[in-house]
Amino acid sequence: MVRSTVARALVTAVVPLTATRTVANAALTLTTPAVDSAGSPATGDCVLTNISASPVLVSSVQLFDGFGAAITPDYDDCTLPPATIPAHSSCHVYKFSIPNAYCTATASSPKVRLSFNLVDGGYNTIVTVPGTK
């Protein structure tokens, strides 16, 4: 009788703890290397791609010049509310006529990939570099 009462008390005490436990998603921040347009007019395009089967929350996608100063983008469909990337989709942040730049991105899942693309006026890719941790 005492044993079953103690067992019941332990189950009663432990179950609420396990039922209310939540697992926080670890944010992932990726950064690309800096790319220089070598004096040619080019557009810098940060592309963040969700490779998972679920939407991913985007905290930030930012462009920086070669000296680390923030660049205001001409276009940003990554961080506008609701700031999520649907499953198997990408978003872009870009700036026209950029001499040199790199980008960083922070998202709620490790299932994202970042690249920085430098494209010419005809939308031909000059160079693409991947983002890393």
- Tens digits of per-residue pLDDT, 104-124? 999 999 999 999 999 998 889
- The confidence score (pLDDT) of residue 82 equals 81
Q: Is there a contact between 122 and 42 (Cβ–Cβ < 8 Å)?
A: no
Q: Is there a contact between 104 and 30 (Cβ–Cβ < 8 Å)?
A: yes
Mean pLDDT of the chain: 84
Cis geometry, peptide bond prior to residue 82 (ω within 30 degrees of 0) = yes
Looking at the chain, the whole-number percentage of residues with pLDDT higher than 70 is 81
pTM of the model as a whole? 0.78
Domains of the chain: residue spans and CATH: 25-130 (2.60.290)
